[in-house]
Chains A and B, each alone.
Chain A
Amino acid sequence: DVKVTQSSRYLVKRTGEKVFLECVQDMDHENMFWYRQDPGLGLRLIYFSYDVKMKEKGDIPEGYSVSREKKERFSLILESASTNQTSMYLCASSLSAYGYTFGSGTRLTVV
């Protein structure tokens, strides 16, 4: 089975800190995605990548950046964490739009 691993289940960071959320997949998928999930708002796409060193903005990229130096790893970076970035962050990978595999999520709290 494809596995998508997010490095942390829970994180607590301070306002203004630089935060790295790591995601690794083990099935050679081309596409990787970062979503955030908030109550009442559903899943919103932050950034995605369809190849190494290629990235594209999603619907809510402001305050975030990403890095994909290797095919299996896709990192989400919060340049200067703010309290409104407290959320559940979900990473996913896929070969195409036909069926995403999600990680277990990282619940980030910014205090």
Chain B
Amino acid sequence: SQQGEEDPQALSIQEGENATMNCSYKTSINNLQWYRQNSGRGLVHLILIRSNEREKHSGRLRVTLDTSKKSSSLLITASRAADTASYFCATDELTQGGSEKLVFGKGTKLTVNP
């Protein structure tokens, strides 16, 4: 299966700074999604960007997509200690049975220091 690969694996910044995480994937996609996971909890859907979109915003989140480079970035502006979490990108993939499923990367662990 194709898999998004996040970069860096871990990121530590100070409160108020911006955090940028990157995701690369291998094959063509219909959409790419970003999720957040607080320690020991389930994932929460943050934002979806379709293959024909280049940039999308949601509050302090900005996502870009470059399909020619098969890459996406997630920018969190003016970070807060509460943003400390792991962030995952996910891409859609067709199964052998013709269904759609999401394939997740291994995540970037973000620590925002107060």
- Give me the interface of A with B, judged by CB distance under 8 Å: 4, 31, 33, 35, 40-43, 45, 48, 50, 56, 58-59, 88, 90, 92, 96-105, 107
Known: A99-B48, A102-B44, A105-B40. A56 touches B97 (CB 8 A): yes
A96 proximity list for chain B (CB < 8 A): 100
- B69 sits at the interface (CB 8 A): no
Q: Which residues of the partner chain A approach B41 to less than 8 Å between Cβ atoms? A: 104-105
Q: Tell which of B18-26, B60-68, B77-85, B102-110 binds the partner.
A: B102-110
A98 B88 Cβ-Cβ under 8 A: no
Q: Is the CB of A48 within 8 A of B101?
A: yes
B1 at the interface (CB under 8 A from A): yes
A9 to chain B, nearest CB (A): 9
Q: Across the A-B interface, how many residue pairs have beta carbons closer than 8 Å? A: 61
Q: Are B103 and A45 in contact (CB under 8 A)?
A: yes
In the complex, which residue of chain B has the Cβ closest to the Cβ of A9? B40
Between-chain CB contacts (< 8 Å), 25 pairs = A4-B42, A33-B101, A40-B106, A41-B106, A42-B3, A42-B105, A43-B43, A50-B99, A56-B96, A88-B40, A90-B42, A97-B30, A97-B31, A97-B101, A98-B31, A98-B48, A99-B45, A99-B48, A100-B43, A100-B45, A100-B102, A101-B45, A102-B44, A103-B42, A105-B41
Of residues B35, B42, B97, B106, which shows the largest number of chain A Cβ atoms within 10 Å of its Cβ? Answer: B42
A97 and B100 contact, Cβ closer than 8 Å, known pairs A43-B88, A90-B43: yes
Complex Cα gap A45–B103 (Å): 8
Q: Is the CB–CB distance between B101 and A42 below 8 Å?
A: no
Set of chain A residues within 8 Å of B48, measured between Cβ atoms: 98-99
Q: Which 4 A-B pairs have the closest CB atoms?
A: A102-B42, A42-B106, A97-B100, A43-B104
Q: Which residue of A lies closest to B5 (CB)?
A: A42
